[in-house]
C-alpha cells in the first residue's frame, strides 16, 4: 500500500481557489440571482475565520486544558445558535436562548459520552478530538435545526387557522400542533439519513478524505468516519426533536392561544 504525505498548500495556491468563487459570483450576476455579494462575503469570512481558528488551535493543542476545550466548544455552540436564530424570519418570540440551551445540554453530553465512554479516550477533553469532533456535531446539527425550525414556522403560518380551529374544538395544544412538529423534525433529519445511504457509494466524507490525504490508513479513516456519521445522525435527530418541541410549547400563551 502506498501512502503519501499531506500536500502542502502555499498561500498563493490557497488564494487561487478563490477563482472558483469569483466565477460563481460572475455567473450569479449574469443570471441575476442576487447571491453574488453574499457568496463573496461568505468566502472572505471562511478565509478569516478558519485561519484564525487554525492559529488558535496551534496554541490550544500545545497546552491542552479541559476548561479551554469546554470554553471553545461553548463558544462554537453560541455562534451556531446565533446563526440559527438569525435565519428564522419574524419569529413570534426570541429563539436564541432556547436554541443555545438545547444545543449546549444535548451536544455537550453527547460529545463527552461519545469520547469518554464509547471511544474510551484517555483524556476526553483533548482538544484534537473534543473540539474537532464536537465541531462536526454542532456544524451538521446546526443545519438540521435551522431546517426543522424553518419548516415548523412555515407550516404553522400556513396552517394557523386549522390549528386554532382544533383548539376551539377542545383539542390539547400538544395534539393540535403534533403533526407540524413531526413534519419539522423529519425535515431536519432527512439530510443526515440521506448521507447515511449515500456515504461510500456517492461520496467520501470530509473527515475520511482529510485523514487519507494526511497519510492515514484508509480502513482506520473509514472507522473514524463511521463513528462520526453515527454521532451526527443521533445529534441531528436529538437536536431537532428537542428544539422544535421546546419552541412549539412557547408558541402558546398561558390561555393556550397561539402567539403572534
Q: 226-246: per-residue pLDDT in tens?
A: 888 888 888 888 889 999 999
b or e along 48-75 (b: 16 or more beta carbons within 10 Å of the residue's beta carbon)?
A: eeeeeeeeeeeebeeeeeeebbbebbee
Does some domain include residue 257? no
Burial-class residue 137 by CB neighbours within 10 Å (0-12, 13-18, 19+). Answer: buried
226 & 178 share domain: yes
Does some domain include residue 152? yes
Answer for the pair 53, 111: CB distance below 8 angstroms, yes or no. no
Cell reading at 75: 463558544
- Give 78's contacts (C-beta < 8 A, 6+ positions apart): 100
112 & 137 share domain: yes
Does some domain include residue 224? yes
- Mean predicted confidence (pLDDT) in 63-77: 89
Q: How many whole angstroms separate alpha carbon 127 and alpha carbon 133?
A: 9
Q: What's this model's pTM, rounded to 2 decimal places?
A: 0.80
Phi, psi of 205 (to 5 degrees): -65, 165
* Residue 211, helix vs strand vs coil: helix
Q: Is the model more confident about 147 or about 204?
A: 147
210 & 189 share domain: yes
Instruction: Classify the C-alpha dihedral 16-18-21-23 as positive or negative.
Output: negative
Does some domain include residue 2? no
Does some domain include residue 162? yes
pLDDT exceeds cutoff 70 at 6: no
166 & 74 share domain: yes
pLDDT of residue 1: 42
Answer for the pair 133, 231: CB distance below 8 angstroms, yes or no. yes
pLDDT exceeds cutoff 60 at 10: yes
45 & 118 share domain: no
Residue 2's pLDDT band, with cuts at 50, 70 and 90, is: very low
Does some domain include residue 75? yes
31 & 80 share domain: no
CA-to-CA separations, 162 to 54, 152, 249, in angstroms, rounded: 51, 14, 17
154 & 220 share domain: yes
pLDDT exceeds cutoff 60 at 4: no
Task: Name the residue range of residue 54's domain.
Answer: 11-63
Residue 147's pLDDT band, with cuts at 50, 70 and 90, is: very high
Q: Domain end: 37, 63, 89, which one?
A: 63
118 & 161 share domain: yes
How many domains is the chain built from?
2
56 & 136 share domain: no
152 & 26 share domain: no
Which one, of 168, 147, 149, 151, lies nearest residue 258 by Cα?
168
Does some domain include residue 179? yes
156 & 89 share domain: yes
Q: Domain end: 63, 84, 107, which one?
A: 63
203 & 115 share domain: yes
- The packing angle between helices 36-62 and 127-158, to 10°, is 150
The least confident of 27-41, 135-149, 158-172, 204-218 is 204-218
Q: How many whole angstroms separate alpha carbon 166 and alpha carbon 145?
A: 27
Amino acid at each position: 500500500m502506498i501512502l503519501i504525505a499531506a500536500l502542502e498548500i502555499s498561500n498563493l495556491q490557497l488564494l487561487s481557489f478563490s477563482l472558483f468563487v469569483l466565477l460563481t459570483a460572475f455567473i450569479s450576476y449574469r443570471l441575476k440571482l442576487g447571491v453574488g455579494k453574499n457568496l463573496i462575503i461568505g468566502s472572505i469570512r471562511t478565509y478569516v475565520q478558519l485561519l484564525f481558528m487554525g492559529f488558535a488551535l496551534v496554541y490550544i493543542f500545545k497546552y491542552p486544558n479541559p476548561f479551554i476545550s469546554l470554553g471553545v466548544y461553548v463558544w462554537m455552540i453560541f455562534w451556531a445558535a446565533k446563526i440559527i436564530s438569525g435565519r428564522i424570519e419574524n419569529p413570534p418570540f426570541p429563539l436564541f436562548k432556547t436554541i443555545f440551551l438545547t444545543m449546549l445540554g444535548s451536544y455537550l453530553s453527547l460529545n463527552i459520552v461519545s469520547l469518554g465512554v464509547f471511544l474510551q479516550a484517555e483524556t476526553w477533553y483533548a482538544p484534537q478530538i473534543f473540539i474537532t469532533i464536537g465541531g462536526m456535531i454542532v456544524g451538521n446539527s446546526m443545519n438540521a435545526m435551522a431546517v426543522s425550525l424553518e419548516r415548523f414556522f412555515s407550516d404553522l403560518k400556513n396552517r394557523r387557522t386549522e390549528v386554532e380551529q382544533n383548539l376551539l374544538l377542545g383539542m390539547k395544544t400538544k395534539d393540535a400542533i403534533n403533526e407540524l412538529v413531526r413534519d419539522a423534525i423529519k425535515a431536519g433529519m432527512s439530510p443526515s439519513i440521506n448521507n447515511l445511504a449515500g456515504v461510500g457509494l456517492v461520496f467520501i466524507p470530509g473527515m475520511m478524505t482529510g485523514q487519507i490525504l494526511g497519510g492515514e490508513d484508509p480502513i482506520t479513516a473509514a472507522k473514524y468516519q463511521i463513528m462520526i456519521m453515527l454521532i451526527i445522525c443521533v445529534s441531528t435527530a436529538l437536536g431537532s426533536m428537542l428544539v422544535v418541541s421546546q419552541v412549539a410549547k412557547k408558541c402558546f400563551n398561558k390561555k393556550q392561544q397561539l402567539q403572534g
